[in-house]
Structure formats: C-alpha cells, structure tokens
Structure 1
Amino acid sequence: MNGFALGAEQEEWCGQLRALAADRLRPLADKGEPGRVNRPLLAALGELGLLERVFTSGALELCLLRESLAYGCTEAETALALQGLGAHPVLSSGTPEQRARWLPEVRAGRAVAAFALSEPGAGSDAAALALEAVRDPGSKADADAYRGADGGGGGGGGWRLSGEKCWISNAPEADFYTVFARTGEGPAAKGVTAFLVPADRPGLSGEPLDMLSPHPIGRLSFDGVPVGPQDLLGEPGRGFRVAMDTLNRFRPSVGAFAVGMARAALDATLAYTAARRAFGGVLGDLQAVGHRVAEMATRTEAARLLVYAAAGAYDAGSPDVPRRSAMAKLLATETAQYVVDHAVQLHGAVALQRGHLLEHLYREVRAPRIYEGASEVQRTIIAKELYR
C-alpha cells in the first residue's frame, strides 16, 4: 500500500471478506441473541481462519479485516475483535503453558476470551483500578484452589482477588479473563498486575448488563478469587504496560471498525438517495442532499486514510504510535457517528424501523466513541504526545 491507496490484492481480499460477512456470517449473527456470546458465529470465524489472522496479522491487515467484516456484519467483527483483545495479553506476555492451553482454543473459536480492565470507578482512568490482589501465603487448601480444574496457579503462595469489574465485553460468558488488579508494588499504574483467570475459579461470578449496543457486556464480582504465580501475565507490577500494549495494538483497528460502519452507511445512503423520488426528481438531485453526502464521503475517506497511516506506523515500529493510534480512533469513531446519524436523517422514518441496516448501525456506532478509551481520553493522549 502507498500513502493513498490499497494494492490490487488487498482490495480483492477486502471484497472477499465483505462478501463472506454478508453471505456466511450474517445468517449466523441473525440467529444469535443480542447481548449474548454467539458461539456458532465464533466457531465459523475460527473455521474460516479469520481468528487466526487476528494473532498473525500486522496492524494494517488487522484494520482491513475489521473494516471489511464491519461493512457486512458488525456482530462478526465485534466477536473477532473481542477474542483478540482478551487473548492478546496471553500471546504477548503469557507463559508457554498459558499459550498452549488457551490460544489454540481461542483461534478455533471454541474458547471465549475477555479483557477485564474497566471498573465502576475506573473506566477511562485505567490507572485508578481498585480491584485488589492481596498476598496469600498459601496453605495446602489454598494451593489446591490455585491449581483448579485447569491446573493453573502453581502450588505455593499467591493472591486473592477482591472487588468488581464492570462493562466487560463477553462477560459473564467468557471461558477466561485477562484481569488487571492492584498488587501495590507502587502508586497508580506502577502497582497493577495482569492475571489470566479461568471462569471456573471459586469466588468469581458475574451478570450480564443490558446495554444500548447489542454486544455481550457484563459485570464481574471477585470474592477472594485465588490466583497463583502461574496465572501471572508478565511480571508483578507491570500489568499496566500489558494493558496499554494491547490497547495500542487494537486502537487503530477500532477506527477501522468505525470506518467499516461509516462506509456501509454511506453506500446505503447513496443507493437510497439515487432512487428515492421526491419533489419532481430523486433526492440526490437536491443540492442540500448532494452536499451532505459529499461531506459524509469526504470525512469517511479522511478517517480511512488516518487509520491506515496509524496501522502502518505500528507495523513500522514508529515511536509516535500512541499519538497516531489515538488520532485514528478519535477521528474514525467521531466520523462514523456523524455519517450514520446523517444517513438516518436522509433516509427518514424508514431508517428508524427495527431491523433496518441504519437502525442497527445507529445503535452500534455510539459505543466505539467510549470503548477502549473515550474520545476525551484520545484527545488527552494526543495533547500529551504533542507536548512531550
């Protein structure tokens, strides 16, 4: 890819993905229950080799994958992305045993992963985590609890997790959680540790949340959940870096998800306004409509190029990845909100009917401006990087 266009092979692959999303994945998504994990859809993503690409692709290829799936089936895109978000810390910081146990199952769509960072009092301010990991000297009974059915946790002392996580995607139905807890090696971000916590650990419970967007999202409660040395993801006190590395990896592709939705809304609007007759012609003949569509298209293209540039910077190992990633997510998610909203306006009442593409996108598009760092957080990151 040059700075302005994809190569012919990339364009062909994106077209194949859009068709696959519409023809193969959309029917499975339609059979799922909103707000619940769709395991048949995940299995199809694994069978098609798309989950594998989440872990083997560069950032640009991941963006193309997410954008193309979002265009044809947002549920498939979200299911794929959440697998990557939940399991990437295992790939980047897990032990050989953790990787061997979980990653093949995630790639096949048989195990559901979740990224458990947010809390009731720590959403955008991730360094303000309150979930506490208290040192446990480790009795014989404790050692047996640490091992659990999955054999994890080791046989010596460990920690007990106590507190709550909230707005966790795939909770409470995930098979394991990447959990970030305060172990106290230092203040704020310096005292956070990452753990891999299987869902069957004693003391772990959860409940689903009824959200505007149709994603599976829930709350988790930790009542002295035992974790041991073999559950660590990386080193004690270094969990915040694990979290930020994961978010930096996925932020440009959150923008790609948004671009996919914007492009779907734009194409639907072009088709509708070119055919809908009104005032002696078609809607597209009206200057007000044509100018609105031109603005939607221009903003979508600008967001797309910024997302690709951020992904390219990540793949090249550029030092300005945090700034570029934040810019890409900020512009793309705000643009998608603008495009979908105006697409609804130009369609009129038909777009407000349950089941209409734009009704669906209207509910989907709001959340990415908050998830993985709200727009205000992205602006803060950009400003700090500029003044650094």
Structure 2
Amino acid sequence: MTEPPQTAEPTPAPDSPAQGAVQAPAPQTPAAVRRRAVLAGTAVSALLILAIVLGSRLLRDFDSALLPYAVATVFLAFGVAHRYTVWVSAPGARRLFRQGWRSFFSAANFRKAPTALPKMIATYLGFQKFLGARSHARWAAHQLLFWGCVLAALITFPLTWGWFTFTSDTGDGPGYEMRIWGFKILGFDALSVLGWLMFHGLDIAAVLVIAGASYFLWRRMKDRGAITGQRFAYDLIPLIALIVISVTGLLLTFSSIFLHGGGYEFLAILHMVSVVFTLIYIPFGKFFHIVQRPAAVGMQLFKYTSRRKDEELRTCRRCHEPIDTPDYVENLRGTMKDLKLDFDEWAEYCPRCKRVLRGNAYLTHVKKGFK
C-alpha cells in the first residue's frame, strides 16, 4: 500500500473555539483544592447524618447494634465527596464533568435523542457492554460482581440508617410488615417465597459477589498480563475484602440456621470489621471508579449527541480521513491545553498519521545521532 505524501510536522492551528467549547479553567492552588474538598466532604457527611436522623424518625427506628456500619457510611460519604472534589478540580476531569452536565441539561439534545441517556445508563452503567468486547468471561464476572454489590447496597444502607424496618405483631412472625420511613409498604409471610427472598437477599448478593470476585482473583493469579502490572494493595485487597464480607455474611446465616447461633458473635464482629474497612477504603482505592464511572456517561452522551448534529466530521489534516465531530475534537484540544500539553494540534490527526509523524520525528531527530 502506498504511503500518502508526507507533510511537515504538525503546527498549531489558529485558535477558533468551536460552538459549545468550554473555556480553560483558572488555575487552582493545592491549598484551595484541599480546602474546598474538606468543605464538600463535611457538608455531605452532615447531610447524611441529618438524613439518618430524619429517615429513622428521630432515631426511633435506628438499631444501635448497627452503629459501626452507620458511622462507616458517614466516613464513606466524607471520603467520596473529598476525593471527587479533588478529582474534578483537575483540568481534564473538570472539563469532562462540565461537558457531561451541559449535555445532560441540554433541551436540544433531549429533543434530538430523548432515549440516549436511559440507553447509555442501561448499556454503559448497568450491563457494561464495553466489557463484552474484551472478554465474555470478564463481562459475566463483572456483571455478577456489580449486581451483587448493588443488591447488597440497596439492602444494607437503608437498614443501617434505620430507613427500613421489619416488624411483626406477634413478635416472632410469620407475618411481617416492611416499613420505609415509618410508612407500611407491604406485608408478607416469612414462610412464603417472598418472605424467603426478603430475609435472604444479602445471601443472594453474597453468592453473586463470591462468584465474580473469585474469577477476577483467579485471573490475577494466573494471567501473565494481569500479574505483571498488579499491585497487592490496589488490585488484590479489594477482591479479598469482598470475598471476606460475603463469606462471613453467609456464615452468619449458616450459624443461625444450622448451629443454633454457635460462633455467631465472633462471626458478626469479623463481618462488621470487614465491612467497615471496605467502606472506608472505597474512596481511596480501586473502588473509587464506582463513583467516577457515572461521570463518564456524561462524556459518552456528549460524544453521541455531537455526532447527531448536521455537521461534517473533522478530517485528518494529513490524510483527510474523518476523525470525529468538530465539537469533540475541539474539546480534546481544550483538555490538552488545560493540561499544558503543547501539542494539542495532534488531536486533528488520525491515529495512523500520528504514528507516521512520530516515526518521521524519530528518524529526523534521534536516529541521525547514531553512527
């Protein structure tokens, strides 16, 4: 195949911001970022404490035995808000964040693609179809892990905060009522299928999590590519923590049913410690991508809606093949400028031409130095 005619190395294009381009954010000092992050974390923690007090009807429905879990969720709220604020303060993340919200609240985008956001939430967040392109096994394991954690969170957090209560007129069943914020939602028989599902939802979640986490742990023990770049604290501890939480949770059920409560107190303490540790670890470890992922949906929405505009795609400055929409290319250039990368004009070249130009630069400036 004949190479296209080579041109000179890329030179910066005139600054002509495209429609909808976001101006570069003003630089922020680390001290200002930390101060803003602490304020955000404190505010979110205070709001959560207020929600716990009000949601539990001034603590009337709050179970004091679950106090360590509730305290851990307050620390979790502080850590997530603190780190998210620091992350969004970075120029590239801030631009992504702003473009995502701008696309989300755009009436024009909603008129042109009213189903785009629900579809992306379902495919990108819920079913994570992008993982299926890498490996069907990894996608299946991630789905087990994801839905197991979601189910556990939907059950555990409201119970911990005193928002959900299960009461029985007789004191020991089998008839129970589920109440949310003090309002009766439904009544059920503990011996029915619905009752079994209600009382064993966490066991189901534990089985899903164990299956998914075990696959990834096995892969990190066997796959050469995963072993090469993995770190124990970052890659292995999260999986081990999830398995410990799930196993100890199942053992609590096993103890209460088959051992008549034997060893229950020890298992309860072990389970509590593992849960509290994991909740506090989330904002500062690998689990933080759970919080970051929804922000990426906004950027996907921006890309999707910009491609639906009646505009021609921006073409490569070298081979003139289509690259992407003008809005997306200008947004990428803006991000590179925010990060002080003085080669943002390279965003206007296709991947193939970038490789050719890098090769030419190497031959011109490096190779000639060897005799």
Please indicate the TM-score interval, normalised by the length of the shorter structure. Answer: under 0.3
Larger Rg: 2
Q: Which has the higher strand share?
A: 1
The answer to which structure, 1 or 2, has the higher relative contact order (CA under 8 A, 6+ apart) is: 2
Q: Which has the higher helix share?
A: 2
Give the TM-score, by structure 2 length.
0.26
